[in-house]
Amino acid sequence: MRALGWALLALLLAVGRSAAQECDRVYVSREDQDEPAPFEAPTLHNPLGHSRQCLLKFIAQPHQRVKISFRLMRLRGTYPDCQHEYLDVFSELRRPDEDLLETPFGGRFCGMIAPRARISLYNSLVLGFYTDQAETDGELFYGTYQFINASKYELGTPIPGSPCSFEINHSNQKRKGLLVSPTYPGVYPKGLNCEYRFVGKPGQRIRLEFRDFDLFMGGHHCPFDFVRIYDGANQSAPLIGTFCRPERNLVKYSTGHQLLMTFVTIQRTPNPEKRGFSGIYEFSESFVNLDFITGQHIRGTECDQRILSKRESSGMVYSPNYPFPYLQNIVCKYFIYGMKDSQNLERVLLMFDMFDVPGEALQTGTTIAEYDSDTDKGCDGGYVRIYLRGQYTSSPLVFPRCDGGYVRIYLRGVTAATCASTCAVRTRAHPLVFLRCDGGYVRIYLRGQEVKEAFDKFDRELCGRQVPESVRSNGARLTLVFSSGATQGSGFKANFKFETEYQSDHLYLPTECQSDHLYLPSEYLIPGTAAPDGSCRFTYNSAAGKRGDFNSPRHPANYPSATACEYTFETQRNEQVRLVFDNFKVRAENINGSAYG
């Protein structure tokens, strides 16, 4: 009886092996095969409902990899349990005959949602199909497989100890190359630690451009999978940044001729099925030389810089390569920031000494302002509308000043005009030539637009060869964006100064003359006529307006310490002045009560 039992067990094991071998499939690469071919679930007849497991093996040539794309999946199991039917993926086998229990597990799938595309890390890939159905057919899942060239993943000289680490050296024959994650565009594996060491020649810089960037984010601080870029040869070099958010056209530059990039993915049970990254790298001596930077270079950018105030300090900014012609097709940003806290509030004064950024001539003329005495726009029957960008339909700014039946305009760089019925405001040089800055330009941002990356909302756009007028920021921030385009010129040279002053740049308007068209930024200082010496003394003349506003320095922010301001109200004969304080909050220490009540 014992002999009969052993014989029966051997028979059952043989039948089991035979059944498993019946449903196993092996797909081997042929030299003439480079197009996708179909695969599908095995057809099984299993009337007793025994559990069955079938292996689909895909074996490429040593210089190839396997790409699997699923078209449909209809398995009975429910994720994450997947009890009755499921499909296991193994895409990191070093050898076709490697034990699946010893190879990294690529994920288990069931239900109606098919896995994303997979590309093997080496030259083999296995799908393990489990079912306890009585009958199965090819409609449970199907897709295509393809044997692809592995050379796109061989980025340089392999670094021992990692399947995805390379040293990428400059060569005269290859200055540019493809940069992809180890299994892009397939789902990247878990537990990777890849290094990409870029080594150029002295005098070169390195540019990385990511055109697709798809990592498991997990949070803004990138706690799980991430790419890190270092501005040097190793991880002791300054960090350019850590990246894991979805990005399009992420571009980073080295400062010198070496750069290190790492790609790290953690070991975890759930698989987020992300593609990784794809982009290009480039070695070049033609990227912007950073010698022109007078502030702090912003790491990772080609030529951006940040200049911070040292309390009423000053300095110079230059275009790249100044005083020689700048390069074509470069964009450099200048972030010039004054102090802003409870005791400090600076603005930025920018004065150009030299300017040569060629633009395209658009039109000539003399009139940049128009006056209409028949239309009520806020000044009792008339208005003046001033166009600062050379186009009558672009951003009209109205600066009315009502003085007893006529209009007076004060604008820096423009003569005053007094009108009875019609008028024109002319520049100092005639005729006026408008330039369309389709090539190179300098854009100026006076209101902190860069904080929200609103670079389309610039306050000035400059080009040509005429030295522009000076500009002041409306707050503590001023930003320049220089774009050379396809043009070439000598560039620009400008002085900047951080200044603490109390006068508002905006016109003092009587309240009855204010118009819906008037643009007044919210961050104003003190309206009024400032003292010529720049001290905190302001004059309000009755002839200019019967009513108006005044305030302490920097209101509604804190006024600075050790400050004395004087406000003078000049009346006409037989007039008196009435002051109404809407808000009053002054520190009371060491104040003489008899003098101040």
Pick the most confident of 292-301, 335-344, 362-371. 292-301
CA distance 217 to 117: 20
CA dist 116 and 188 (Å) reads 11
Residue 317, phi-psi category: left (phi > 0), alpha (psi -120 to 50), beta (remainder): beta
pTM as predicted: 0.74
User: Domain spans of the chain?
Assistant: 19-151, 154-284, 290-359+437-499, 518-597
Residue 390 reports pLDDT greater than 80: no
Distance CA 491, CA 463 (A): 10
Give the burial class of 213: count Cβ atoms within 10 A of its Cβ; 0-12 exposed, 13-18 middle, 19 or more buried. Answer: buried
Residue with tokens 């307006």: 545
| Of 66, 29, 212, residue with least CA distance to 153 | 66
CA 111, 115, 120, 124 torsion-angle sign: positive
Average pLDDT of the segment spanning 354-367:
67
- The span from the CA of 584 to the CA of 597, in Å, is 14
> Which architecture, in CATH terms, is 290-359+437-499?
Sandwich (2.60)
> 154-284, superfamily in CATH?
Spermadhesin, CUB domain (2.60.120.290)
Which helix (H) or strand (E) is 15 found in, with range? helix 2-23
Cα–Cα distance between 70 and 118 in angstroms, integer?
Answer: 9
**Alpha-carbon distances of 191 from 88, 119, 188, 207, rounded to whole Å:** 18, 16, 10, 27
Separation CA 379–CA 505 (nearest Å): 21
| Domains 19-151 and 290-359+437-499 agree in fold | yes
19-151: CATH superfamily: Spermadhesin, CUB domain (2.60.120.290)
More confident residue, 592 or 213: 213
Could you give the C-alpha distances from 549 to 408, 526, 540, in angstroms and in order? 20, 9, 10
The encoded tokens of residue 298 equal 């912003």
Average pLDDT over residues 402-418: 37
Q: For the residues of 372-406, what is the DSSP string, one character each? A: ESSS-SSSSS-EEEE-SSS-TTS--EE---EETTE
Per-residue pLDDT reduced to its tens digit, 173-202: 679 999 999 999 999 999 999 999 999 999
Q: Is the pLDDT of residue 384 over 60?
A: no
Whole-number pLDDT of residue 324: 95
Question: Averaged over 129-143, what is the pLDDT?
Answer: 86
Q: At 218, is the pLDDT very low, low, confident or very high (cuts 50, 70, 90)?
A: confident
pLDDT digits (tens, 9 = 90+) for 468-493: 999 999 888 999 999 998 888 999 99
- Per the CB < 8 A criterion, the answer to whether 386 and 369 are in contact is yes
